[in-house]
Structure 1
Amino acid sequence: MAKIIGCIGTSHVPTIGVAYDKGKQTDPSWAPLFDGYKPVAKWLEEKKADVLVFIYNDHCTTFFFDMYPTFALGVGEQFPIADEGAGLRDLPHIKGDVKLQCHIVDSLVNDEFDLTVFQEKPIDHGCASPLPLLWPHKPDWPGTVVPISVNVLQYPLPTPRRCYRLGQALRRAIESYPEDLNVVVVGTGGLSHQIHGERAGFNNTDWDHEFLDLLQHEPEKLLHLTHADYVRLGGAESVEQIMWLAMRGAMANSLKKVHLNYYLATTTAMTVVVYEEGEETEPRHVPNANQAAVM
């Protein structure tokens, strides 16, 4: 039977892909970020991950506002990586497992999630930006990807709780698949950032760390927040954090943190974190007394 061996939360900032393609891994301004992904790549290699289920949002590359689905899942043997204006990237097409993808689609629809299914569509930086930092790609990717796109752009958005329940249904789908596969669920986006308007450049480090603490230990509290709460606390684009809740919903109640790298050097709090199921051994982060964003 397929099993979930862990989960990854990661930013999907497009400039990560640009910096990677330009070979800036040792540049002083970028090295702290790229170095933070090396333990994640090593973890995936050691765990022999066969499949990455990528929960991301499409940035009007595959879909546009005249028909933008709430939840969409890609089915296909491969997906091209989108040219978002900087030229085609020197990366192979993302590989898919059609049998697994079809099983997940069937299971989610029967679990009352009305999915849009897409084929042969390009995948943008929501997935493709962090992917080469997680997996080697020469001559090809070591495994397959199940791309699941979530609407975090055009209102009405799915609620935080709905995304969490998507993760729960996704776990049921994966664990009912008869083939022995090691699956990792990847939630992307965030953390705090705003790239336009009066608060352009806004970040909230205290909230970012509180979110990470609650995500691990008390995700239910995050489900009560509205989209406006996420925007107020982390900036307009931090509503992407609801995709991390879909990742969290696919995991057991108790999680232990394997690795965390938090790097705020631009307008986005670029973060990568790895969790496995089990009891945490590190002391829990305690928010500042004057913070109380959610508590």
Structure 2
Amino acid sequence: MAKIIGGITTSHIPAISNAMERGLEDTPYWRDFFAAYPPVRKWLEEQQPDIAIIFYNDHGLEMFLDKKPTFAIGCAAEYENADEGWGIATIPTVTGETELSWHIVNELIEHDFDPTVCQDIKVDHGLTVPLRLMYPDQNYKHLKVIPVCINCERHPMPKPSRTFALGEAIGKAVESFPGDEKVVVFGTGGLSHQLDGERAGFINADFDEECMDKLVSDPKALTKYSNYDLVRLGGSQGVELNMWLGMRGTMTGHVEEIHRNYVAPISNTGAGLQLLRHTPKR
């Protein structure tokens, strides 16, 4: 059967790609952020996962305020990036995965989730920045990607417990897939940040560290928060923790943290990185 070998959490802010384009990785502002990624890249090179399930949120490129699905899953053979107006260079086409993605969709619907199924979708920086961080030479064509998009922009948004349950359902679907593929799951975005309003620039490093701790040891404790709690504790964009919870929900076996980093501020966010090794139950 297919198995989930691990999970990776990472920021997806547009400024990351701009810094990479301009060769700023070793400058004082960025050094501590980028220096944390080589161990994760090394792990990916050693493990050679076949498929990446990437939880992300679309920031208006494909799903604007007039059409905003709560949950959406890509089932396409490939995905293109497009200009979002951030000044980020587009990246090469991302290879899609069709068999497992359709299996996941069917299993989700069978178990009372109703995602929007996307057979033609462009992906924005929420998905492309993490790929570029993990594969800075953009040599990711071998990796088949399943995008899972979560609404983190427009209320009403899915609450943390529902997003975690979505992850659990996706994890069970992967475990029931009749193949020997190795799957890695990304939770992108976050952590605490607020980009506008009276609290613009707000970062809660203590809360961020608590979330990273609980993500390993007691993820269900985080599902007790409401989205309003996340906004209060983590800023108006702190609800992106939902992508991390979706990722963590997919891993139902033993989870061990093997790498962590936290830097703040990075482009007015608390930027967390975690590498979690997963040993599936058998």
Q: TM-score, normalised by structure 2?
A: 0.94
> Does the 8 Å CA contact 2:83/2:89 hold for their aligned counterparts?
yes
TM-superposed deviation, 1:82? 2.0
The superposition leaves residues 45-76 of structure 1 with CA deviations (integer Å, 9 ceiling, x where unpaired) of 11111111000000011111111000001111
Q: For 1:61 and 1:212, how far apart are their aligned partners in 2?
A: 29
Aligned partner of 2:277: which letter? Answer: E
- Structure-1 residue corresponding to 2:130: 130
- Structure 1 equivalent of residue 2 of structure 2: 2
Tell me the alpha carbon deviations over residues 68-96 of structure 1, each in whole angstroms, 9 at most, x when there is no partner: 00000111111111211245725210110
Pairing 1:115–2:134 present: no
| Residue aligning to 1:270 | 271
State the SS of the aligned residue for 2:122: coil
Q: Identity over the aligned pairs, expressed in percent? A: 43
- Residues 206 and 63 from structure 1, CA distance in 2 versus in 1: closer, same or farther, beyond 3 angstroms? same
5+ residue gaps, structure 1, are: 279-295
Opposite residue 123 of structure 2, the aligned amino acid is I
Distance in 2, matches of 1:192 and 1:242, equals 12
Letter in 2 for 1:272: L
* Residue number in structure 2 paired with 1:68: 68
Counterpart of 2:264, as a letter, is L
Offset of 1:259 from its aligned partner?
0.5
Deviation, 1:35, is: 1.4
Aligned partner of 1:194 in structure 2 is 194
- Aligned pair in 2 of structure 1 residues 137, 115: CA closer, same or farther (>3 Å)? farther
* Counterpart residue number, 2:249: 249
Quick check: 1:82–1:88 contact (8 Å CA) kept in 2?
Answer: no
More strand per residue: 1 or 2? 2
Provide runs of 4+ in structure 1 moved above 6 Å.
Answer: none
Check whether the contact 2:82–2:90 (CA below 8 A) recurs between aligned residues.
no
User: What is the alpha-carbon distance in structure 2 between the residues aligned to residue 226 and residue 104 of structure 1?
Assistant: 26
Unmatched runs of 5 consecutive residues or more in structure 2 = none
Kept in 1, the 8 Å contact 2:194–2:238? The answer is yes
- Aligned partners of 1:212, 1:87: CA distance in 2, in Å? 31
In the alignment of these two chains, the number of paired residues is: 278
Q: Can you list the C-alpha shifts for 1:196-251, whole angstroms capped at 9, x where unaligned?
A: 00000000111111111111111121111111111111111011101111111111
Report the secondary structure of 1:265's partner residue. Answer: strand
Code of the aligned partner of 1:64: F
